Homo-oligomer: A and B are copies of this chain.
Amino acid sequence: MPNSVYKKIELVGCSPTSLSEAISNAIAAAAEDHGNLGWFEVKEIRGNIQNGKVSQYQVSLKVGCKV
């Protein structure tokens, strides 16, 4: 498919548990709206702190999907 076109959508996935679950949550939400997810690129890793501990991981990522 050498003339394909893809769209990049930017999402922030959150998880109280781990970076990988934050990524998975974002991709699962994207998959509900788009049928052809192909790849993701992590853009930023942040999180919230409560009582001196990580309470939430937040991962910004771009997801590429076929138009």
The 8 Å CB contact of A53, one of B18, B24, B38, B55, is B24
Contact present for B42 and A38 (CB under 8 Å): no
Query: Whole-angstrom distance from the CB of A13 to the nearest CB of chain B?
Result: 5
**Residues 49-67 of chain A, each 1 if its beta carbon lies under 8 Å from chain B, else 0:** 1011111100010111001
- The number of times this chain is found in the oligomer is 12
Query: Whole-angstrom distance from the CB of A54 to the nearest CB of chain B?
Result: 6
A8 contact set on B, CB distance < 8 A: 10-12, 60
**A-side binding surface: helix, strand, loop or mixed?**
strand
- The chain B residue sitting closest to A15, CB to CB, is B3
Contact present for A16 and B39 (CB under 8 Å): no
**Residues 25-48 of chain A, each 1 if its beta carbon lies under 8 Å from chain B, else 0:** 111111100000111111011111
